[in-house]
A and B are shown apart, each in its own frame.
Chain A
Amino acid sequence: NAGVMQNPRHLVRRRGQEARLRCSPMKGHSHVYWYRQLPEEGLKFMVYLQKENIIDESGMPKERFSAEFPKEGPSILRIQQVVRGDSAAYFCASSPGHSYEQYFGPGTRLTVT
């Protein structure tokens, strides 16, 4: 049973470019969460999605950031016009329900130059 998959694992973008991060949840999981982690920090909740629905995006900056989880295909976290402060590790997690443990993917390390 494949775990949560994220790609790319490393992404380098210049300031002003767009970053697209993909997440495929574990088989059978329909709940996806995105977190951001800065060096030596805990994980900060960004957004919680179910198929075709954003349930809670309270942790996501209102500008430049968006997320989706379409009926078919992976969940996408999009960051437009990246700035240096967006450099971080972005982790996706999935669960079979909303009060279950979350299974994390390997993360995407975004570097903005």
Chain B
Amino acid sequence: GQQVMQIPQYQHVQEGEDFTTYCNSSTTLSNIQWYKQRPGGHPVFLIQLVKSGEVKKQKRLTFQFGEAKKNSSLHITATQTTDVGTYFCAGSGGSNYKLTFGKGTLLTVNP
């Protein structure tokens, strides 16, 4: 079945440093979604990428979808303490509804 790998598992940064998490799928995806989960909280939708090579920005967050639609990345510029949490990618294959989640990257930020 479809597998989604995410690295790194943990990332600790100083406030103001940049952060990137990477996501790779074993199969071609129809779309990829990114979620953020604060400690003790629930996943919150950030963005959905659909097109090959797509790049989307949300303030300090930049999301990319690879040309082959098998990988994606999330980059945060100049991290802040409010960025703390686990970032999950979730890919959807042919069904378009069944999301396969990566294990997430836990980001901690030292003020």
- Interface of A toward B, CB cutoff 8 Å: 31, 33, 35, 40-45, 48, 55-56, 58, 91, 93, 95, 98-99, 101-107
Contacts and interface: CB of A to CB of B under 8 A. Distances in A.
Contact of A106 (B42, B90, B92): B42
Contacts of B101: 35, 42-45
A108 B45 CA distance: 19
A48 B100 CA distance: 13
A98 B96 contact: yes
Interface string B96-111: 1111111110100000
Interface of B: 4, 6, 30-31, 33, 35, 41-45, 48, 88, 90, 92, 95-104, 106
A99 B31 contact: yes
A42 B88 contact: yes
A41 B101 CA distance: 9
A103 to B, nearest CB: 7
A63 B44 CA distance: 31
Contact of A102 (B41, B99, B103): B99
B92 A99 contact: yes
Contacts of B31: 99
B42 A101 contact: no
B43 A101 contact: no
B45 A42 contact: no
Contact of B97 (A35, A48, A91): A48
A106 B44 CA distance: 10
Contacts of A43: 43, 88, 90, 99, 101
A45 B1 CA distance: 13
Contacts of A44: 101
A60 to B, nearest CB: 12
B98 A56 contact: yes
A31 B35 CA distance: 19
